[in-house]
């Protein structure tokens, strides 16, 4: 699957976000190594610490469906921002746990442009199981 198709899935699913407080919709679509896709949205809570990001929602959904660490091929993250919307630090840390350092991360902005990075590029000094 190409990055444009994966990004389209992320853009479509973001409308399902539960964002009564921020009104900031985010969608994520992971391509799994078996060719399947898993999507997620951000889900807010009045207790903001209980809020979950789109990327983690998708990763946790994939794990609940039976996928394992290393099964993630790439991800597209979509939001309506002026600049490219990167995963937050918590999501990057979960990605460092479950994904390969060279996994491609496709980001978009309100103009529909796509920028691609690797996990290593957006989290160069990741804390991993090697640090334990």
Q: Which residues, 6 or more positions from 107, have their beta carbon under 8 angstroms from its beta carbon?
A: 76, 77, 84, 85, 86, 114, 115, 116, 117
Instruction: Tell me the per-residue pLDDT of 25-76, one tens digit each, with 9 for 90 and over.
Output: 999 999 999 999 999 999 999 998 999 999 999 999 999 999 999 999 999 9
Which listed residue (4, 12, 44, 55) is catalytic? 55
Q: Which residues pair with 29 in a beta bridge?
A: 39, 76
**pLDDT greater than 90 at residue 129:** no
Q: Which domains does the chain have, with CATH numbers?
A: 3-131 (3.40.140.10)
Decide: 76 and 108 in contact? Cβ < 8 Å. yes
CA distance 46 to 60: 21
Residue 53 in marked binding region = yes
91 is in an annotated binding site: yes
Could you give the CA distance from residue 8 to residue 6 in angstroms, rounded to a whole number? Answer: 5
55 annotated active-site: yes
Q: Is the pTM of this model over 0.75?
A: yes
């Amino acid at each position: 699957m190409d990055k444009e198709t994966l990004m389209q899935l992320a853009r479509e699913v973001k409308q399902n976000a539960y964002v009564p407080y921020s009104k900031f919709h985010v969608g994520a679509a992971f391509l799994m190594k078996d060719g399947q896709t898993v999507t997620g949205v951000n889900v807010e809570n009045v207790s903001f610490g209980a809020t979950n990001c789109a990327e983690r929602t998708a990763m946790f959904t994939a794990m609940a469906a039976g996928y394992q660490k290393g099964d993630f091929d790439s991800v597209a993250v979509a939001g309506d921002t002026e600049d490219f919307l990167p995963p937050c630090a918590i999501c990057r840390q979960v990605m460092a746990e479950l994904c390969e350092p060279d996994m491609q991360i496709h980001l978009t902005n309100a103009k529909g442009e796509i920028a691609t990075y690797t996990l290593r590029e957006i989290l160069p000094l990741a804390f991993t199981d090697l640090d334990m």
